[in-house]
Amino acid sequence: MGKLGGKVAFVSGGSQGIGEQIALLFGREGATVAVLASSDLAKAETVAKRIRGAGGQASAHAADVRHADEVASVVSKVSAAHGPIDILINSAGVFPPTPAANTPEDLYDKVMDINVKGTWNTICAIAPSMRARKTGWIVNISSVLGTMALANYAVYCASKAAVNMLTRSLAIEFGRDGVHVNCIAPGNTATPMNENLRTEAQYKGFVDMMGARTPSGRTYSLPEEMATMALYLSCSDSKPVHGAIVVMDEGFSLGV
């Protein structure tokens, strides 16, 4: 049946990148997966079809995680169709450069609202049911840049640091109710969100530096590798783990 047999998983940002790979893996492990895209329902349906095609159960949904009412509506529909949500994966996010004094206010708001408020909104919509049932797993997808700085990405770094502290604070708040809250902090991962780092000539020096600095020598990880950790943090295997920030960056942040 798999590690997640009988569980219902809600994956925001599940239509691409790390979220997509988590959704696919969870489907193979027996979960009924609700795949949430920000606006493109067709993309979410593509992932859901792949899960169903492999013998799993999945549904596709679209909502802007910045709006609590949209999130609550989708959560209500998922719960009515599949039963209460056991696992929440917060993978929706954006990664634009935000140089100081040269970033429009609406871009600042977009980064903070999707990366932080979006995470908060899904948790507030789903966690009460988990706490009432005394069981649940919440995994937030942060970034190594929530633990170290990168020039010209200050707002993104700040947003992911906020996600890290949401994780730790809520792990304390929810722990006595049987709800695990943990976080994965990927480094450079091969996803559409940061494809420019791997393909544009202007970033070649930076990518080469990363390869030289990582103990593994790899310049980026794979989203499938992040999904494997998400699976561990979403089942009874991780029973003693609360409030962890699992950095998966090929060792880049260790130093030189």
* Amino acid, single-letter form, for residue 59: S
Question: What CATH number should be reported for the domain holding residue 232?
Answer: 3.40.50.720
In a domain, 200, yes or no: no
CA 92/CA 203 separation, integer angstroms: 24
In a domain, 129, yes or no: yes
In a domain, 83, yes or no: yes
CB contact at 8 A, 188 and 220: yes
| 156: annotated active-site residue | yes
Q: How much is the pLDDT for 196?
A: 79
In a domain, 155, yes or no: yes
Handedness of CA 124, 46, 51, 24 (dihedral sign): negative
Q: Is-above-0.85 flag for pTM? A: yes
Q: How much is the pLDDT for 256?
A: 63
CA separation (Å) from 211 to 36, 142, 206, 249, 251?
A: 33, 21, 9, 11, 10
Q: How much is the pLDDT for 22?
A: 99
DSSP 4: T
In a domain, 72, yes or no: yes
In a domain, 217, yes or no: no
The count of domains in the chain is 1
In a domain, 214, yes or no: no
Those residues of the chain that have pLDDT short of 70 are 256
Q: How much is the pLDDT for 195?
A: 82
Determine which one of 108, 153, 156, 220 is catalytic: 156
Greatest extent of the chain over all pairs of C-alpha atoms, in Å: 53
In a domain, 195, yes or no: no
Residue numbers of the domain that contains 105: 8-188+223-250
Helix axes 17-28, 41-53, angle to 10 degrees: 30
* Amino acid, single-letter form, for residue 197: L
Q: How much is the pLDDT for 98?
A: 98
